[in-house]
Amino acid sequence: MSSGDPHSGPGDHEPSFGNPLGIVEGPVEQLRIVEALLFAASEPLSEEQLAERLPRGADLRWLLVTLQAFYSSRGVNLVRVGGKWTFRTAEDLSFLLHKETVDERKLSRAALETLAIVAYHQPVTRAEIEEVRGVAVAKGTLDLLLETGWLRIRGRRKAPGRPVTFGTTQAFLEHFGLEAIGDLPGLDDLKAAGLLDGRLPPGFQIPMPSDDPTLRDDEEPDDQGHLDLSLMPGLDDDEAAR
């Protein structure tokens, strides 16, 4: 099978043409269907969503691998993010679209730190975020991250005050090009990137992240509509003093 031609399939089957009912049976037409669905979709598609539009018995895994190989050297690549499939601009050409993809609102350092803490420590409450950061979380920080769609309210901690717990979303994985939350960089990766001080305390560990949507034993469903998110109105939107 050549990566430059997605039209050869298992056993070199030919597509079924002239079917009066329009039922597509051959791998060539199945490739075209998958390609069209992915191009037309406004968001990544799961394998279940793709399989629903294919004839019974279609080898979806082969179809996706074939398309992925075909597009590997083109201006757009077929990639898997968050367990779903989508077309993305080839990484080596992304600089050409820089002006078109710059976010209108830049995240503050406080927001980026908060996002990272939630990603690695989820499910986590605001007080637990503040404990890790060493400073209070400003009023607008969590609201902004919820607005971007990268964070979500998971539930409430079974503790006095029943504080809400936060976790990351599918949109977080898609934006940062992660197939799963476990693909977040580990300790060695963060050191190599200069994001962690090389003189870390003995025994320092990066948590093993998990975005399992199932509520944990110390969580319960949120039944108050997140009414406690208008937090600390006296603080500005960057961060409060220690």
Residues paired with residue 165 on neighbouring β-strands, in sequence order:
155
- Radius of gyration, alpha carbons of the chain: 23
Whether residues 152 and 207 fall in one domain: yes
CB 126 within 8 A of CB 142: yes
Whether residues 26 and 120 fall in one domain: no
d(CA 85, CA 96): 23
pLDDT at 165 over 50: yes
* Whole-prediction pTM: 0.55
The dihedral built from the CA positions of residue 144, 150, 154 and 157, taken in this order, carries a sign that is negative
Q: What is the pLDDT of residues 168-221, one digit of tens each?
A: 999 999 888 888 898 888 877 766 766 555 555 666 677 778 888 888 899 999
CATH number at residue 151: 1.10.10.10
The total number of structural domains that make up the chain: 2
Residue 43 has which token pair?
């968001």
d(CA 120, CA 115): 9
Lowest pLDDT segment from 38-47, 48-57, 221-230:
221-230
Question: What is the average pLDDT across 154-177?
Answer: 92
The reply to whether 22 falls in a domain is yes
pLDDT at 121 over 50: yes
The reply to whether 1 falls in a domain is no
- Residue span of the structural domain in which 93 resides: 10-97
Whether residues 212 and 124 fall in one domain: yes
Whether residues 114 and 183 fall in one domain: yes
The reply to whether 25 falls in a domain is yes
Whether residues 150 and 213 fall in one domain: yes
CA atoms within 13 A on the CB side of 217: 0
With tokens 């949120």, the residue in question is: 222
pLDDT at 136 over 80: yes
